Each structure stands twice: as structure tokens, then as C-alpha cells.
């Protein structure tokens, strides 16, 4: 979908969902290196995929919303 003000809420809700999942998958470790060293490949790969999904959703947020909240990178 193209950036569209009507879809912004959907993108933001997706981002929040992905953040929650990453938090759940990584709550027992202090950093990515520890997660990798624990050989938790499933959680590591899932977290990396979710980070990529967050990036995709951020790129779809409308310019109108981005201009309304310029302090959020």
C-alpha cells in the first residue's frame, strides 16, 4: 500500500505489535550478542524479521503524520 493517512493507524498498530513481540522474545537477555551466544536462533531470527517489518511499516506512514510529529525519528 502507498503512504496514506487512512492507513497510518494500521501501520502504527503493526509497529506496536512487533515491538511487543520483540520484547517478549528478548526479555531474558541484555543485548543482541547475548541472544546470539545463547544460540536462540529462532528468537534472534524472529526479532530481526520483526525489525525489518517495523522498517517497512515506518516507510509507509504518511508524510502528513511524519510532519505532525517531527521529533520522532
Q: What is the pLDDT of residue 2?
A: 55
**What percent of the chain has a predicted confidence (pLDDT) above 70?**
95
CA–CA distance, 23 with 34 (Å, rounded to integer) = 15
pTM for the model stands at 0.81
Could you write out the DSSP letters of every residue in 8-27? HHHHHHHHHHHHHHHHHHHT
Where in the sequence is the domain holding 32, given as residue range(s)? Answer: 5-68
Q: Given a cut of 80, is residue 32 above it in pLDDT?
A: no
- What does the mean pLDDT of the chain come to? 88
Task: Read off the pLDDT of residues 9-26 as tens digits, 9 standing for 90 and up.
Answer: 999 999 999 999 999 988
In a domain, 59, yes or no: yes
Average pLDDT for 31-53: 85
Q: What is the pLDDT of residue 28?
A: 87
- Domains identified in the chain, total number: 1
Amino acid at each position: 500500500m502507498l503512504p496514506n493517512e487512512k492507513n497510518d493507524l494500521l501501520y502504527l498498530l503493526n509497529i506496536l505489535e512487533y515491538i511487543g513481540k520483540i520484547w517478549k522474545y528478548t526479555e531474558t537477555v541484555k543485548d543482541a550478542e547475548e541472544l546470539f551466544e545463547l544460540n536462540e536462533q529462532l528468537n534472534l531470527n524472529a526479532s530481526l524479521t520483526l525489525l525489518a517489518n517495523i522498517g517497512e511499516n515506518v516507510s509507509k506512514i504518511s508524510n502528513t503524520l511524519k510532519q505532525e510529529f517531527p521529533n520522532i525519528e
